[in-house]
Structure 1
């Protein structure tokens, strides 16, 4: 009898070869892509943050473990005061933003207020206008000595003192809130749109008026959205660099971000900066935990069904009061700063006001034809922002696909890493990238690569949230049909999924591009002599005090931004920047 006929001899070998062939058939080359994506996430998010933590405990000279960096970071009262100032400033700015945005959101969502299109334009304008440009505009408006408002006040009343002083804690918090209130508006309006009018009708039947129903029914139902907006503005405020530097430094208001910038002055003390940044990261995580604890104590449910509907509340004459409120916020946030910036950009001397003999194109001519870095910084901004947007969207699409299609057992961890930069202040991400990649073996400091990678990591959550929402809208059966017909998973993604989500991906790409083009907090820590971006050059011009050239350069940045906003509205929808997935 041959060996082939013996039971238990040939069969196991055949079975092993068949099992191996089966596993090889099930293995797709695209699986290697998932590994690449995991490594990319570790490179962009996990390693810089891990390195930041390690460096905060390393001796600069020996590399040994030490807590001396924390003692140096918080060993002076000035440094502790900066942290307290940041927390107080964040709370004040978030409160101001909610006071502005919540009535606006209610008026637009629930009432017959006129001019809703104007209100939306104001919200979009405030979202587009970079915070540091708004700060410069308010210096021109409310500077204590030469601000237009104070000059007009003195001229009308003969008073010797200023009416407004933007170089104050309240002025700084107000300017920051004027740039951040759109975040609260979007959250609250989206939540109010889901509340049925039946809830308010029931309150009216029980004798509550319009304002009582709003205060005791509508707003309590959207309390989670208000809290989310408040916390996001708080986190934005404590991580912002441009506005506190432009207004706060002359006002002698030291905050965490400006103090971190001082740690990067020669000699660079990155280990002390890392230690100083750690409590800011803990505060960020703590705020997210506080939000979850507050909202877990109470249920927020609006029961709606087929019969639920939304009817506009008739305000009568009060609708003009609501419109006046919205218009006032829009003027303060957008119209007034833009007007004075435009005037200054065409002025020989901005303090002389509007006069024919004060108009000139010299500021723009200087920037376009004579300035040694202006055009280079424009090219850098477009290149860095486009590259970062492309990297972020491609990574986000692949990660969102893995997570939503449950292709790997640890998909949720990938989603967490992709969203982690959302709760990490940009300035901390920048210091993490400096600690991780500035020195050998990478030696990327001052190169385009480190800025592009930092921007990609910083804004990956925007691209991921956008891509995840788009992927969920595509039923997996469409991809399975392609695979049954012999196509691989990568082919199914490229031929079916990607075309179906193209519009959403384009919108995400444009949003990342726009916010990256105006990013200052991360860029200022990473740029080199020839990799300056427009935002960094704008800050340099503000330090030089040449507001006319600064305003003209800000005008160029806004013009570039508006071109891409127009493209986005044409290709991805008019609300692509304010859409909440």
Structure 2
């Protein structure tokens, strides 16, 4: 007698339950990423949307007020000249310095870090340092030049730093280090076989540079050039400090003047920033189209860029001359004025004093500004690192979430394409009204800092993830480890140098941050850069010089701590 086999009633539902269990983690991840992106949209996109809505109110009254002015063509021309001129200077110098650094002999290898050091010096400090040296009347270098026979009969000049050409030159100097970082990183991925073959064929160093190195550096040049162009368009420090009293106007300073005038005109300010926003978004999209293959970041095999085996005297001289103009000379100007009771063209060694530094250290506002700068910078970094890790992980391994990854890619790139002053205006407008009234608090400074640093935190960690590949993650998952355990025990230790480099870079940039801070600060909540600007406006030039040196010292200490924790190579990995 056959025995009937009964199938348990629960059996048909087991595959469905298994599918539910397998899908559930994906949906949890999707919901989590969507929630993070919603928060980022509130921080990054909402201020921009509100500004544009305001500019189009009342029949686009903001655009009429801004672009109906008689001098708008000159302002637009100056903005374009500043961006393009500084781009050319930065690209030429940055590429030349990167090639020179690659040709240094082993014993002079420490010079490779020199082109990065201008990043450590705040832009506002460098600008005022040059102002003390090249102001038409009391500038110390101008005083020396007037001793020469060509200009001996003049009581001012021969150089006027408050003009557009010199603002362009100083801006180009400031952007050179950023281009150097991208180009030198690209050079490390050039196989030395190409260079050795060219040398064997009899090519000179110049021939190798133009025929071999430059074509292979195309991705780095496109990316670095795009970043330099965006930064040039959004320049604020130089035009504001040097051009404010000489009638030099760019779109960013127009935004600032529209917001700070009485009454404020946010609609016109938003309209002034619109071309920068549009151009920034277009340039970001073009970059992604040209450099969409992210595998260019993956470490490849083969021989790396060949180090120089000769003396390479020209390389040493090139880097030394750049250091002289980008670091030493402006620092000398700051030191001289900071030790003087007043700024004048004559220098008396008997009058040198430390009173300006004593005044700074005994002023509560200065001490509070240092604390605010350090605390808000560290607070933003602490939040940006895990946030950037999440976004980088979504971009690198989020193939199952293509829509979310695309949104994350664009959202994390926008702050790099939009000038900081625009975010400053947007945050000022957004957080002076309900539901979150945060104006004048450290919180709003931290929030705007997070937005500005999001691209750096994401891109640097994404590069590290791409270079590591999927092997470690797959091996950890095979061993039964959860994603959290894999992150804590595998990925973070392997990415430690990159993370520390990101921390160092973000701390440097944030302690220097000036444009957005100037708009969201209050008289009772100042950072170092905004307090320095107030001193500059008040004509307290010796205190300005001392404050600039204090800013440089604070940043240097922060970098030194990062190097102490992460090793000497932290700066070289920026």
Give me the TM-score of the superposition, normalised by structure 2: 0.87
> What residue number does 1:63 align with?
none
> What residue number does 1:165 align with?
160
> What residue number does 1:527 align with?
521
Shift of residue 101 of structure 1? Answer: 2.4
Any idea what the Cα deviations from partners look like across 1:421-473, whole Å, max 9, x if unmatched? 12222122222223333212222222222211111011111111122233445
> What residue number does 2:40 align with?
41
Is residue 2:90 matched to residue 1:94? no
Residue of structure 2 aligned with 1:461, choices 437, 452, 455: 455
Is residue 2:502 matched to residue 1:508? yes
Q: Which whole-Å CA distance do the structure 1 matches of 2:557 and 2:78 have between them?
A: 37
Shift of residue 116 of structure 1? Answer: 4.8
User: Structure 1 residues 222 and 34 mapped into 2: Cα distance closer, same or farther (>3 Å)?
Assistant: closer
1:551-566 to 2 correspondence within 5 Å? Answer: 551-566=545-560
Shift of residue 274 of structure 1? Answer: 1.1
Contact map agreement 1:176 1:243 (CA 8 A) in 2: yes
Q: Which whole-Å CA distance do the structure 2 matches of 1:495 and 1:212 have between them?
A: 48
Is residue 2:170 matched to residue 1:175? yes
> What residue number does 1:191 align with?
186
Q: Which whole-Å CA distance do the structure 1 matches of 2:253 and 2:303 have between them?
A: 54
Q: Which whole-Å CA distance do the structure 1 matches of 2:563 and 2:163 have between them?
A: 38
Shift of residue 255 of structure 1? Answer: 0.8
Q: Which whole-Å CA distance do the structure 2 matches of 1:387 and 1:358 have between them?
A: 42
Is residue 2:268 matched to residue 1:272? yes
Residue of structure 2 aligned with 1:68, choices 51, 61, 65: 61
Q: Which whole-Å CA distance do the structure 2 matches of 1:93 and 1:531 have between them?
A: 33
Q: Which whole-Å CA distance do the structure 2 matches of 1:12 and 1:215 have between them?
A: 71
> What residue number does 2:376 align with?
384
Secondary structure, aligned partner of 1:445: coil
Q: Which whole-Å CA distance do the structure 2 matches of 1:250 and 1:565 have between them?
A: 35
Aligned length: 558
User: Structure 1 residues 34 and 140 mapped into 2: Cα distance closer, same or farther (>3 Å)?
Assistant: same
Gaps of 5+ in 2: none
Is residue 2:278 matched to residue 1:282? yes
Is residue 2:414 matched to residue 1:415? no
Shift of residue 112 of structure 1? Answer: 4.7
> What residue number does 2:234 align with?
239
Shift of residue 570 of structure 1? Answer: 1.8
Q: Which whole-Å CA distance do the structure 2 matches of 1:308 and 1:549 have between them?
A: 48
User: Structure 1 residues 372 and 428 mapped into 2: Cα distance closer, same or farther (>3 Å)?
Assistant: same
Contact map agreement 1:404 1:471 (CA 8 A) in 2: yes
Q: Which whole-Å CA distance do the structure 1 matches of 2:287 and 2:470 have between them?
A: 34
Residue of structure 2 aligned with 1:571, choices 555, 562, 565: 565
User: Structure 1 residues 114 and 330 mapped into 2: Cα distance closer, same or farther (>3 Å)?
Assistant: farther
Residue of structure 2 aligned with 1:405, choices 397, 401, 421: 397
Give me the TM-score of the superposition, normalised by structure 1: 0.86
Any idea what the Cα deviations from partners look like across 1:200-226, whole Å, max 9, x if unmatched? 454455554332332333223324433
Secondary structure, aligned partner of 2:230: helix
Any idea what the Cα deviations from partners look like across 1:397-432, whole Å, max 9, x if unmatched? 122233333264423422332232122221222222
1:15-34 to 2 correspondence within 5 Å? Answer: 18=17, 22=21, 33-34=32-33
Shift of residue 363 of structure 1? Answer: 0.8
Contact map agreement 1:349 1:358 (CA 8 A) in 2: no
Q: Which whole-Å CA distance do the structure 2 matches of 1:468 and 1:511 have between them?
A: 15
Shift of residue 260 of structure 1? Answer: 0.7
Shift of residue 173 of structure 1? Answer: 0.8
Shift of residue 507 of structure 1? Answer: 2.8
Is residue 2:367 matched to residue 1:375? yes
